[in-house]
A and B are shown apart, each in its own frame.
Chain A
Amino acid sequence: MESMEKEHWTKVIGPHRGWLDIRLAELWRYRDLIMLFVRRDFVAFYKQTILGPLWFVLQPLFTTIVFTVVFGRIAHIPTDGMPQILFYMAGVVIWNYFADCLNKTSDTFASNANIFGKVYFPRLTVPVSIVITNLMTFAIQFTLFLAFLAYFYLAGSDIRMSLWILITPLLLLQMAALGLGLGIMISSLTTRYRDLRYVVGFGVQLWMYATPIVYPVSEIPDKWRWVFALNPMSAIVETARYVFMGAGTIRAWQEVVSIGITSILLISGMVMFNRVEKTFMDTV
């Protein structure tokens, strides 16, 4: 019968989709939608807060102050010779972006059940737009960091910025990929196993302490360094500190491992997300 019908179907909807049929071309076709989601989230945020973008500045500022007092002044954790404020602020700003991406994308299915239940569009547009929206927050906080950096530089601190600073966008991209990959992986799992949602909240907090945010990698005994290499965020944070302030320890192999793990997480996240998006409406 198949051979008799030479028909061209635009779409065949069946019970399953291939493991790797992620349909990135379709995502690209919906790029306008991604940008409109970004705009929507941005506008909605501004219309609902009084202080607006000031929050983005206050949060890292106060966190940095607290870290400086607690970990720097009281616990006397060294900072590889970097000014304490800059050391902590770099960590906080970077971590904020990653944590935000992870937290918000991990909720994709649950918080969009209403709209997903009514109309089809590539579901991946939502987490991708979240990652992009978060870039704006990051830009504001990063500007704050740059301002402090300039101040310390002019005040004569020992800051050796290198040309490697040009790889900053790549670091950002890797963080986005990592946050997105893990976030959509968790959001796929939470459609069935709700408990996971609670794990994300404190999991991210604990993860921060497993990442060199409040301490430098140089404080870690050599025999435990490999554990840190398994955490893809370690390499990102250390690299960022190195390129902006010229201090810290980072090895090429650590970068490679970090990028490798990020890729694996992103791809498996997309595969899982893709599997779930077809039927998750039945479990909500």
Chain B
Amino acid sequence: MSDVVIRAENLYKEYRLGTISHGTLYKDLQSWWARMRGKEDPNSIISTIASSAPGDSKNPHFLALRDVSFEVRRAEALGIIGRNGAGKSTLLKILSEVTSPTKGTVKIKGRVASLLEVGTGFHPELTGRENIYLNGAILGMTRKEIARKLDEIVAFAGIEKFLDTPVKRYSSGMYVRLAFAVAAHLEPEILIVDEVLAVGDAQFQKKCLGKMGEVAKGGRTVLFVSHNMAAIRNLCERAILLDRGEVLLNAKSEEAVSAYLDRNLLKGAKASAEEIGERLEGTFDPGNPFLRFVEIALLDQSGTPRKAFSSDEDITVSVSFECLRKVPELRLFVYVVDENGVHILGSQNLDDPAAMERFTSVGAGTYSATCVLPKNIFGGRTFFLSVHMIYPKVEHVFVNKILEFEVKFKGWSKVHDGVHSLVFLNPQLQWSIQPLAA
């Protein structure tokens, strides 16, 4: 017996762009008449896929998914990643039967529950209890099943006191917690989750991650769509990378995530807390971290963020971070890496004995650390920056290739050619040339 619980075969989803006008009726009749005679629908582009390039503005049709095929096995947690508009949501909508594919099939074994967005069908006038029943029923539970799980759901959401209060008086946190709790207790064979972790406080997010891990371990299958790469890496063994409706990569989540990040390098000279959060890696307790990045930036000598430098300029790496609890021993690392992630240059805060004296131990608060990459060392290349924060043996967080910067090599003399511009480091070293004594 095969263990495959979802098999998607050659899925296509076509959307028609633009508004529905008076021409709609005519075209509908035309399509209908063609189908009746068993001919190709003249208004569909599936038959002419080869000729339709993505982003072709003349074509009013748009393929949100093109030839997507994959399998998911029982008890597997599969991540689905990709940029906005890559087709992730469309895929989930098809899997959860909200809409149907234009072509292709999905075969599913077992009950599917989707959390496309939590709180679906909550009515503000109804009480928490009533909403649990209503929401549970919408998600496919019977009244009996819900009654059996009610206590568990209420405890998970932590809303015991407000069970008989209309949900319109709930805080947004309570609302989300309740909604997730209902869905998490569904016990479906396949759980589809889209971005729930974007909501709720850190502690609740941790609870959700735990619950989802539990679901996967309990022999059930989880499909998880998120922009939170750390969560994908934590939760999923395998991930699918979608791009413009196509499956680019179906691999181990580590591999898929780094492929995704490589395709989505940050454009600017500054990375915000949110952008860093998406790319955060390392070992830490997501619900209760010690250290958090606030901002990472590359600054020129005047303190302005920049991403292109001349080789005769100092480049300042500025790392702002928040320390949530006292960290008795803090280590910061800055690495300059190439596009393959190979370390070219590294430095840590403890390299400087004076800084070590003052800043080894830090209390709660927000700090800004800077490290100057001195002028006259880089060659003319594109570089990437990686930053690590370490509380030895407790926490190690890092972001790889968080910023990209370019160095234009000025040259030491008038004599510099193409060879020089290819090296990563090109400091002026001491040379001496002497004739050998005969």
- Chain B residues whose C-beta falls within 8 Å of the C-beta of A115 in the assembled complex: 120-121, 138
- In the complex the two chains form, is B138's CB within 8 Å of A119's CB? yes
Query: Chain A: which residue is nearest B168 at the CB level?
Result: A47
- In the complex the two chains form, is B114's CB within 8 Å of A40's CB? no
Query: Is B20 part of the contact surface with A, judged by Cβ < 8 Å?
Result: yes
- In the complex the two chains form, is A118's CB within 8 Å of B110's CB? no
0 or 1 for each of B131-167: is its CB under 8 Å from A? (1 = yes): 0011001111011000000000000000000000000
- In the complex the two chains form, is A10's CB within 8 Å of B97's CB? no
Query: Is B116 part of the contact surface with A, judged by Cβ < 8 Å?
Result: yes
Query: Is B370 part of the contact surface with A, judged by Cβ < 8 Å?
Result: no
Instruction: Report the minimum CB–CB distance from A269 to chain B (whole Å).
Output: 19
- In the complex the two chains form, is A193's CB within 8 Å of B25's CB? yes
Indicate whether A44 sits within 8 Å of B2 (C-beta atoms), given known contacts A14-B105, A15-B100.
no
- Chain A residues whose C-beta falls within 8 Å of the C-beta of B142 in the assembled complex: 29, 32
0 or 1 for each of B1-32: is its CB under 8 Å from A? (1 = yes): 11010000000000110001000110010000
| Complex-state Cα separation, A127 to B14, whole angstroms | 28
Indicate whether A5 sits within 8 Å of B2 (C-beta atoms), given known contacts A12-B105, A121-B138, A281-B98.
yes
- In the complex the two chains form, is B114's CB within 8 Å of A120's CB? yes
- Chain B residues whose C-beta falls within 8 Å of the C-beta of A5 in the assembled complex: 2
| Complex-state Cα separation, A85 to B82, whole angstroms | 68
- Chain B residues whose C-beta falls within 8 Å of the C-beta of A37 in the assembled complex: 134
Instruction: Tell which of B28, B95, B126 touches A40, judged by Cβ atoms closer than 8 Å.
Output: B126
Query: Is A7 part of the contact surface with B, judged by Cβ < 8 Å?
Result: yes
Query: Chain A: which residue is nearest B106 at the CB level?
Result: A13
Most buried by A among B15, B95, B109: B109
| Complex-state Cα separation, A271 to B145, whole angstroms | 31
Query: Is A251 part of the contact surface with B, judged by Cβ < 8 Å?
Result: no
- In the complex the two chains form, is B126's CB within 8 Å of A13's CB? no
- In the complex the two chains form, is A119's CB within 8 Å of B139's CB? yes
Query: Is A36 part of the contact surface with B, judged by Cβ < 8 Å?
Result: yes
- Chain B residues whose C-beta falls within 8 Å of the C-beta of A121 in the assembled complex: 137-140
- Range, interface on chain B: 35 or more
Query: Chain B: which residue is nearest A12 at the CB level?
Result: B107
Indicate whether A193 sits within 8 Å of B101 (C-beta atoms), given known contacts A8-B109, A115-B120.
no
| Complex-state Cα separation, A120 to B99, whole angstroms | 9
| Complex-state Cα separation, A7 to B111, whole angstroms | 16
Indicate whether A7 sits within 8 Å of B2 (C-beta atoms), given known contacts A15-B103, A118-B120, A281-B98.
yes
0 or 1 for each of A266-284: is its CB under 8 Å from B? (1 = yes): 0000000000001101110
- Chain B residues whose C-beta falls within 8 Å of the C-beta of A13 in the assembled complex: 94-95, 97, 100-101, 105-108
Query: Is A3 part of the contact surface with B, judged by Cβ < 8 Å?
Result: no
- Residues of A in contact (CB 8 Å), total 39
Query: Is A160 part of the contact surface with B, judged by Cβ < 8 Å?
Result: no
Indicate whether A193 sits within 8 Å of B24 (C-beta atoms), given known contacts A12-B107, A120-B114.
yes
- In the complex the two chains form, is A119's CB within 8 Å of B28's CB? no
- Chain A residues whose C-beta falls within 8 Å of the C-beta of B102 in the assembled complex: 15
Indicate whether A192 sits within 8 Å of B98 (C-beta atoms), given known contacts A12-B106, A12-B107, A119-B138.
no
Query: Is B104 part of the contact surface with A, judged by Cβ < 8 Å?
Result: yes
| Complex-state Cα separation, A43 to B94, whole angstroms | 33
| Complex-state Cα separation, A248 to B355, whole angstroms | 102
- In the complex the two chains form, is A11's CB within 8 Å of B98's CB? no
- In the complex the two chains form, is B107's CB within 8 Å of A279's CB? no
Most buried by B among A16, A30, A48, A120: A120
Instruction: Report the minimum CB–CB distance from A186 to chain B (whole Å).
Output: 15
Instruction: Report the minimum CB–CB distance from B140 to chain A (whole Å).
Output: 7
- Chain B residues whose C-beta falls within 8 Å of the C-beta of A253 in the assembled complex: none
- In the complex the two chains form, is A278's CB within 8 Å of B100's CB? yes
- Chain A residues whose C-beta falls within 8 Å of the C-beta of B40 in the assembled complex: none
- In the complex the two chains form, is A30's CB within 8 Å of B100's CB? no
0 or 1 for each of A21-51: is its CB under 8 Å from B? (1 = yes): 0000000011011001101100110011000
Query: Is B93 part of the contact surface with A, judged by Cβ < 8 Å?
Result: yes
Instruction: Tell which of B24, B99, B104, B111 touches A281, judged by Cβ atoms closer than 8 Å.
Output: B99
Query: Is A224 part of the contact surface with B, judged by Cβ < 8 Å?
Result: no
| Complex-state Cα separation, A193 to B27, whole angstroms | 13
Indicate whether A15 sits within 8 Å of B101 (C-beta atoms), given known contacts A10-B111, A119-B120, A119-B121.
yes
- Chain B residues whose C-beta falls within 8 Å of the C-beta of A36 in the assembled complex: 133-134, 137, 143
Query: Is B123 part of the contact surface with A, judged by Cβ < 8 Å?
Result: yes
- Chain A residues whose C-beta falls within 8 Å of the C-beta of B110 in the assembled complex: 10
Instruction: Tell which of B20, B107, B120, B143 touches A9, judged by Cβ atoms closer than 8 Å.
Output: B107
Query: Is A81 part of the contact surface with B, judged by Cβ < 8 Å?
Result: no
Instruction: Tell which of B20, B103, B114, B126 touches A283, judged by Cβ atoms closer than 8 Å.
Output: B20
Query: Is B310 part of the contact surface with A, judged by Cβ < 8 Å?
Result: no
- Chain A residues whose C-beta falls within 8 Å of the C-beta of B108 in the assembled complex: 9-13
Query: Is B320 part of the contact surface with A, judged by Cβ < 8 Å?
Result: no
Query: Is A53 part of the contact surface with B, judged by Cβ < 8 Å?
Result: no
Query: Is B421 part of the contact surface with A, judged by Cβ < 8 Å?
Result: no
| Complex-state Cα separation, A37 to B28, whole angstroms | 34
Instruction: Tell which of B15, B25, B97, B107 touches A120, judged by Cβ atoms closer than 8 Å.
Output: B97
Interface residues of B (CB under 8 A from A): 1-2, 4, 15-16, 20, 24-25, 28, 93-112, 114, 116-117, 120-121, 123, 125-126, 130, 133-134, 137-140, 142-143
Which 8 A-B residue pairings sit nearest by Cβ, starting from the closest?
A120-B97, A33-B137, A9-B107, A278-B100, A13-B106, A32-B143, A118-B116, A11-B108
| Contacts A10-B109, A119-B98 known; 15 new A-B pairs at CB < 8 A | A7-B2, A10-B108, A13-B97, A13-B101, A14-B105, A15-B102, A33-B138, A36-B137, A39-B134, A40-B123, A44-B126, A115-B120, A118-B98, A192-B20, A194-B20
For this complex, 22 residue pairs linking A to B, each with C-beta atoms less than 8 Å apart, are A5-B2, A7-B4, A10-B108, A12-B106, A13-B94, A13-B107, A14-B105, A15-B104, A32-B143, A36-B133, A40-B130, A44-B123, A44-B126, A117-B98, A118-B116, A118-B117, A119-B138, A120-B97, A121-B138, A121-B139, A192-B28, A282-B16
Interface residues of A (CB under 8 A from B): 5, 7-17, 29-30, 32-33, 36-37, 39-40, 43-44, 47-48, 115-121, 192-194, 278-279, 281-283
